[in-house]
Amino acid sequence: METVSTNRSHGGEQGVYRHRSTATGTEMTFSVFVPDHAAGAKLPVLWYLSGLTCTHANVTEKGEYRAACAEHGIVFIAPDTSPRGPQVPDVEAWDFGQGAGFYVDATQEPWSANYRMRSYVEGELPDLIAGIFPVDLERQGITGHSMGGHGALTISLRNPGRFRSTSAFAPIVSPLACPWGEKALGGYLGPDRSAWQEYDACALVEGGARLPDLLIDQGSADTFVSEQLKTELLREACDRAGQPATIRLQAGYDHSYYFISTFMAEHVEWHAERLKA
Amino acid sequence: METVSTNRSHGGEQGVYRHRSTATGTEMTFSVFVPDHAAGAKLPVLWYLSGLTCTHANVTEKGEYRAACAEHGIVFIAPDTSPRGPQVPDVEAWDFGQGAGFYVDATQEPWSANYRMRSYVEGELPDLIAGIFPVDLERQGITGHSMGGHGALTISLRNPGRFRSTSAFAPIVSPLACPWGEKALGGYLGPDRSAWQEYDACALVEGGARLPDLLIDQGSADTFVSEQLKTELLREACDRAGQPATIRLQAGYDHSYYFISTFMAEHVEWHAERLKA
């Protein structure tokens, strides 16, 4: 692993790192914030999965998480959203291909060689992190934005017990039921929609997956809510299944980091209560 | 004035605006954060002047000021750092010309037609703001970073009584005594160094200008400190003159927004105490 940059911030260290991924067959970049801590301490971890078009850099620069993570003693990790590079298959669109990995393991050519973000985020990156940073992987939380909210919800629902806390900002709650999801899962996984189920938070909840609770914030002025995000589908699925969920509609907020940064400190605190309980 | 964008954030509104400036003869862009407030209220203002290469956008995206400004009820205004556009004289360098206005009124050709950031920031923009936003210009504070710290200090020192509070992050404290300053003031004002005095915080303090107090944070790992910023010159000038100043060396911090964002909330609180006293 190579260190791209480190900057002292909020009493801790914000780093950006690069490594060769076996899951994706590419160089992958990610960021880690480690707050000030006692020598030898192992800190709880909050994973943040980013949305379409983003890299690690968007939340690292605009997410406003460091003050809260420093206060609560939480390591914050932000992976990239897809494999990247001139040798990685891509299309012109911003909602498929590079920048749009959807946290799946692709099964269709030409995507299956590199687009394995599920294996990367669920397996390879935690293993790498555990050996290098002062983290306690018995105390992990996960969150994300939009496509990354979809990633956070589905990864947590598929791995019961692994994350003590799960939240999301404006998540895509059902790729089976929106154009972004149809395009991405159809492309990466092929036309058999039964293969999409494990990548759909609503379908996972309906199929019996359970988490202790969920926190979701959704802006009322988010232009993607009615066609793509469809928060109500998750609310209905949770209600039907008896899955506890706090789903808040935040009046006037849009889909941007101006929204995310507003509620980031509350999410970090919510995770901290569960990670440090 | 044209609205470029508005986003709800931290309970208020982050806006970006554009207008035709008579001072610079160009379109100028700036950002304003207005926190939630009672109808008809006029709020105190904190001006933030940015550093070399920056626009309004750097602090607007990375400055982490909105939570603190919302808490304290302060309007935060971030102007651009120079006139811009294909018709505006420029050079290849990043430390002179576009992005590097140094908050002076240039007297030398070809710069004098557009590079009038002193008049813009001291006069035109406050006049524009006063007529549009819910601000109380009897309660103004000013801060800035690097070249913008120089701008904040010199504008406040030249206008006693105008700002109730003045602070800076890693300011250039003496353009007369550093390469950035020599290049910029020599270019914009010509070789007569007596004309530079009013754009040099140390010279202004030595010449008798006084403020109630000052707050300055400087990172110890800032690679510009010894050659360009020279914090110690201001400390010495303040000590000699009896100018109260809190000048803090922050261990391990560099020149980036990772540094600025760490101490932004403390600066906003420090200004708030003085603006709301």
CATH classification of the domain holding A233: 3.40.50.1820
Q: Could you tell me which residues come within 8 angstroms of residue B72 by beta carbon, excluding any fewer than 6 positions away?
A: B268, B269, B272, B276
User: What letter does residue A114 receive in the DSSP assignment?
Assistant: T
Structure tokens at B111: 């710069």
| Average pLDDT score, chain A | 98
Q: Which residue out of B64, B71, B264 would a mutagenesis test of the A interface target, given it has the greatest number of A Cβ atoms within 10 Å?
A: B64
Average pLDDT over every residue of B94-103: 97
Q: How far apart are the first and last CA of chain B?
A: 33
Structure tokens at A128: 């790498």
Distance from the B181 Cα atom to the nearest Cα atom in chain A, whole angstroms: 27
Percent share of chain B, pLDDT over 90: 100
pLDDT per position as a tens digit, B14-73: 999 999 999 999 999 999 999 999 999 999 999 999 999 999 999 999 999 999 999 999
Check A146, A156, A165, A167 and give the catalytic one.
A146
* Interface touch B261/A14, C-beta < 8 Å: no
Whose CA is closest to B116, among B209, B28, B228?
Answer: B28
Taking the whole predicted model, whether its pTM rises above 0.95 is answered as yes
pLDDT per position as a tens digit, A4-57: 999 999 999 999 999 999 999 999 999 999 999 999 999 999 999 999 999 999
Q: How many CB atoms are located within 10 Å of the residue B155 CB?
A: 23
pLDDT per position as a tens digit, B124-156: 999 999 999 999 999 999 999 999 999 999 999
Instruction: Domain count for chain B, please give it.
Output: 1
Q: Could you tell me which residues come within 8 angstroms of residue B81 by beta carbon, excluding any fewer than 6 positions away?
A: B49, B50, B51, B52, B53, B54, B55, B99, B100, B101, B117, B147, B148
Q: What is the span of the domain harbouring residue B245?
A: 2-275
Residue A78 phi, psi (nearest 5): -125, 105
Contacts of A76 in chain B (CB under 8 A): none
**Residue A165 annotated to the active site:** no
Distance from the A229 Cα atom to the nearest Cα atom in chain B, whole angstroms: 19
Q: Which residue out of A258, A263, A266 would a mutagenesis test of the B interface target, given it has the greatest number of B Cβ atoms within 10 Å?
A: A258
Percent share of chain B, pLDDT over 70: 100
Query: Could you say which residues from 14 to 33 on chain A have a Cβ atom under 8 Å away from some Cβ of chain B?
Result: 14
**Residue A35 in 3-state DSSP?**
coil
